Amino acid sequence: MSDIDYILYPEWIVPVVPRDTVLVNHCVVVTDSRIVNICPSSEGRKLEAKRHIELPQHVLLPGLINCHGHAAMSLLRGYADDQPLMTWLGEIWPAETAFVSEDYVRDGTDLALAELLLGGTTTFSDMYFYPDVTAERADFVGLRAQLVFPVIDVQTAWARDPEEYLAKGLALRDTYRNHERIEIGFGPHSNYTVSEETLQRVATLANELDAPVQIHLHETRGEVQMSVENLGERPIEQLNRLGMLGPRSQCVHMTALSEGDFDILEQTGAHVIHCPRSNMKLASGICPTQRLLDRDINVALGTDGAASNNRINMIAEIQAAALIAKLENSESTAISAATALEMATINGAKALGLDNDIGSLEIGKQADMIALRLDDPALQPVNNVLSHVVYATSGAELTHSWVAGKPLVVDRQLTTLSVATITSRANTWRDQLLAFRAQRSSENNAHHQENNPQ
């Protein structure tokens, strides 16, 4: 029997590396979870393989990499819309206090993983409570993941204080130390919710363990101003002083940057995770992506959570990243289609330290791939495949997805999750959350009337 597991025959291949390349009438040969050849289809058809899979009118791409999110917050989709960041947090945090549990995180994570897969994501990074539950679900479903366990100075359902957050997180890291698809890192929430003492400890531990660190940073101008007033330095300056910034650091949002901030990022090799749709929805600001890339600072993409974005669809983020950069720079050439796609693939792999294995379709890399069907009338004629992927698709065109060669979506059907079960559980949580919000609203109205009698 042949050693080749299968050969894919799409109409087009966008390998990402080399950049701005589209291969026509080529095939991808997969054996033991890896790409072992990319060659003309005529050559592939001469090879013996267990399966030959035809993908007419499809484009094959590397799986998309979502570098920042809060998966279980999918249950809070639409819960506190049209609010500025701090007001939004004032709505979200009480709901989380009331409901977050192992069951909540399991059901919310399953909902997120289904959406991620059907939108083209094959690798995701997550920062949320009960990361052990998220890890179990990611492992079961078959996705690739970086999970950064939360560190914050307040008590939550998962831990009482920074000591317990760190102890639980480090134990989880030990559990997944040698896992092929899951890595555990540190997720200090921000410099305004974590003390300097705790940030210093995180920096020391992460450097000793060569572990990733992801943190919300420079999300708004108000956050930066608060840091200057309270600490006498900008948030990124504090992290740099504490030794937290380096090639394994991921700075999420980065919307308010000075020239000195650019210098620190360039000198330390820290990565920027851009969440364009969430930042726009919360009016947090715009990450200066083109200027960062011009300084050879790596910029990747994330969706943030569905509570602040409403969709965790990486194709939507690719489009938003390209369009908002053009508007911000008043220049139509800013963040080209090729660059936007790189931000969601190879740049994301670099940010997660996985670029030797994923992020592009190259011989020797893991077979993390997605196929989009481009036969819809809204996509005709296909004059420019790369442009179509970035500017014309929505994610609904995805028909197939593979992680480490294993099919997770086939003909737009999930192979490891039940949509009916996920939806039923999500609706049960919806009913409880809406009742909770109504109760809070009633109590707030009563309090207002007591303090403001007619």
Tell me the backbone φ, ψ of residue 78, rounded to 5 degrees.
Answer: 80, 5
Report yes or no on 446 lying in a domain: no
| Tens-digit pLDDT string for the chain (454 aa) | 689 999 999 999 999 999 999 999 999 999 999 999 999 999 999 999 999 999 999 999 999 999 999 999 999 999 989 888 788 888 998 999 999 999 999 999 999 999 999 999 999 999 999 999 999 999 999 999 999 999 999 999 999 999 999 999 999 999 999 999 999 999 999 999 999 999 999 999 999 999 999 999 999 999 999 999 999 999 999 999 999 999 999 999 999 999 999 999 999 999 999 999 999 999 999 999 999 999 999 999 999 999 999 999 999 999 999 999 999 999 999 999 999 999 999 999 999 999 999 999 999 999 999 999 999 999 999 999 999 999 999 999 999 999 999 999 999 999 999 999 999 999 999 999 999 999 987 877 666 566 776 5
Given the structure tokens 């670029």, which residue do they identify?
A: 355
Domain final position from 301, 319, 351: 351
Indicate whether 57 and 69 sit together in one domain: no
- The count of structural domains within the chain is 2
Q: Which CATH number characterizes residue 11's domain?
A: 2.30.40.10
Indicate whether 83 and 143 sit together in one domain: yes
Q: Are 63 and 14 contacting, i.e. CB atoms less than 8 angstroms apart?
A: no
Q: Are 166 and 131 contacting, i.e. CB atoms less than 8 angstroms apart?
A: no
Indicate whether 263 and 346 sit together in one domain: yes
Q: What is the DSSP string of 388-435?
A: IIIII--STTEEEEEETTEEEEETTEESS--HHHHHHHHHHHHHHHHH
Q: What is the DSSP string of 230-260?
A: HHSS-HHHHHHHTT--STTEEEEE--S--HH
- pLDDT at site 37: 98
Indicate whether 41 and 168 sit together in one domain: no
Q: Are 147 and 112 contacting, i.e. CB atoms less than 8 angstroms apart?
A: no
Residues found in the chain: 454
Indicate whether 46 and 126 sit together in one domain: no
Residue 178: exposure state from Cβ atoms within 10 A (0-12, 13-18, ≥19): exposed
Show the tokens assigned to 422. Answer: 């996920």
Show the tokens assigned to 355. Answer: 């670029």
Report yes or no on 347 lying in a domain: yes
User: Rounded distance, CA 370 to CA 407, Å?
Assistant: 10
Indicate whether 209 and 324 sit together in one domain: yes
- Tell me how crowded residue 137 is: count the other CB atoms within 10 A of its CB: 22
Indicate whether 276 and 346 sit together in one domain: yes
Given the structure tokens 């997180």, which residue do they identify?
A: 169
Given the structure tokens 């410099």, which residue do they identify?
A: 191
Q: Which CATH number characterizes residue 109's domain?
A: 3.20.20.140
Beta bridge partners of 151: 188
